Amino acid sequence: MAHISGIEAAASRIVDVTVKTPLHTAARGNVLFKREDLQAGGSFKMRGAANKLLAGDESASRNGVVTVSSGNTGRALCALRAKFPVPVHVFVLDQCEAAKVGDLRRAGAAVHMAGPSFFAASVRAREFARAHGMLFCSSSADWEFLYGVATIGLELHQARPDLEVIYVPMGGGGLAAALGTFYAELRGTGRPRIIGVQASRSRPIYEHFHHGRILSTPRATAAACLDGEPETGAIILEIGRKVLTDVVVVTDDDILEAVADLARAGVLVEPGAAAGYAAYLRHAEPVDVAGVILTGAAITLGSARSCPRGRAAGDNASASSGGLPRG
């Protein structure tokens, strides 16, 4: 139960800098959306980044914080600068979109182009952090970050212990590892199946789960935040088969259809955030009471919300009654 203790401690630690996001019903199907697109900073990464900064080495974090990010982890750390005014260094892949690089810089991050792969970028970022005495913040290879993310599981279980299955988008695999760990340690009932979802063109965790090794080279997809191989030391590769029920893939067309379906309900998310819903539409059994994590909003850093000082006005909206709001 050590992981549960870490998750509960994280929930207490980050309560003043994150939002308890609502759970909304869908227009079709027996599915509930956990609205992490409404999280402070624009994505679920805010939970992990906040816990890492609050639980991390204070002397190192004063010098600065370093991460590897395709956007959302860097966005979260920049949003947290209102409370933690420290330098933020974000290592991005050479092929990172110019718009994302510009957004990170406008938010105050120092952006480092760090090679063609997350593996190469994470090596360079860790070396930079060590050389400058800074705190390294990994969204997929650090338990303190994952404990913050796993507070999503606490909220889901408190609101809907009857969930039978949860669909979780997977890029680096941190969210799936966090939720899988939380539910694996629950005693008694209320342990849904956890289904990780990858894009079919970039599926290293799917291959590792089903075949024990990565077989193909990841290619670009419609969901940039799901592209690429896992970061060095990604926890999901160690524990995936223990805490996940399955890992499935969805096509770019599946993802874009899910994005469009959500947009018709007034919910605008980035393509990667809709991968879980895409898997629900393709794979769910009609009788399942399903949860889907909407991981991030379709916003730029310039319009991202900064970290709130208290609980969100929508804090009481975490009950699943009511449909998706429009607009």
Are 11 and 155 members of one domain? yes
Share of the chain above pLDDT 70, in %: 90
Q: Which of 119-123, 138-142, 195-199 shows the lowest mean pLDDT across its residues?
A: 119-123
Are 123 and 161 members of one domain? no
* DSSP letter for each residue of 264-278: HTT--B-GGGGHHHH
Are 186 and 282 members of one domain? yes
Give the end of a domain, one of 122, 140, 158.
Answer: 140
Task: With a cut of 90, say whether residue 322 has pLDDT above it.
Answer: no
Are 223 and 263 members of one domain? yes
| Length of the chain measured in residues | 327
Which residues make beta-bridge pairs with 199?
Answer: 202, 250
Longest dimension (CA), the chain: 54
Q: What φ, ψ does residue 232 adopt, rounded to 5°?
A: -55, 130
Mean model confidence pLDDT for the chain: 87
For residue 62, the domain's CATH number is 3.40.50.1100
CA–CA gap between residue 293 and residue 306 (Å, rounded): 21
Closest CA to 109 of 144, 71, 145: 71
Q: Which of 123-132, 181-190, 255-264 shows the lowest mean pLDDT across its residues?
A: 181-190
Q: What φ, ψ does residue 244 adopt, rounded to 5°?
A: -105, 145
Task: With a cut of 90, say whether residue 310 has pLDDT above it.
Answer: no
Are 56 and 40 members of one domain? no
Residue 33, classed as helix, strand or coil, is strand
Domain contains 136: yes
Are 81 and 192 members of one domain? no
Confidence band for 315, pLDDT divided at 50, 70 and 90: very low
Residue 217 to residues 9, 37, 95, 268, Cα–Cα distance (Å): 38, 29, 16, 30
Q: What φ, ψ does residue 145 adopt, rounded to 5°?
A: -65, -45
Give the per-residue pLDDT at 324.
60
Are 25 and 173 members of one domain? yes
Structural domain boundaries, residue 102: 47-140
Confidence band for 323, pLDDT divided at 50, 70 and 90: low
Summarize the confidence of residues 152-170 as an average pLDDT.
Answer: 96
The model's pLDDT over 200-219, given as tens digits with 9 standing for 90+, comes to: 999 999 999 999 999 999 99
Residue 7 to residues 2, 44, 169, 172, Cα–Cα distance (Å): 9, 15, 20, 20
Give the per-residue pLDDT at 74.
93
Give the end of a domain, one of 99, 123, 140.
Answer: 140
CA–CA gap between residue 87 and residue 92 (Å, rounded): 16
CA–CA gap between residue 97 and residue 251 (Å, rounded): 21
Give the end of a domain, one of 140, 158, 193.
Answer: 140
Are 135 and 228 members of one domain? no
The model's pLDDT over 256-265, given as tens digits with 9 standing for 90+, comes to: 999 999 999 8
Domain contains 323: no
Give the per-residue pLDDT at 284.
85
Give the per-residue pLDDT at 29.
73
Task: With beta carbons less than 8 A apart as the criterion, state whether 197 and 167 touch.
Answer: yes
Instruction: Please indicate whether residue 29 or residue 156 has the higher confidence score (pLDDT).
Output: 156
Summarize the confidence of residues 301-308 as an average pLDDT.
Answer: 36
Q: In the chain, how many domains are there?
A: 2
Q: Which residue in this structure is represented by tokens 């992981």?
A: 3
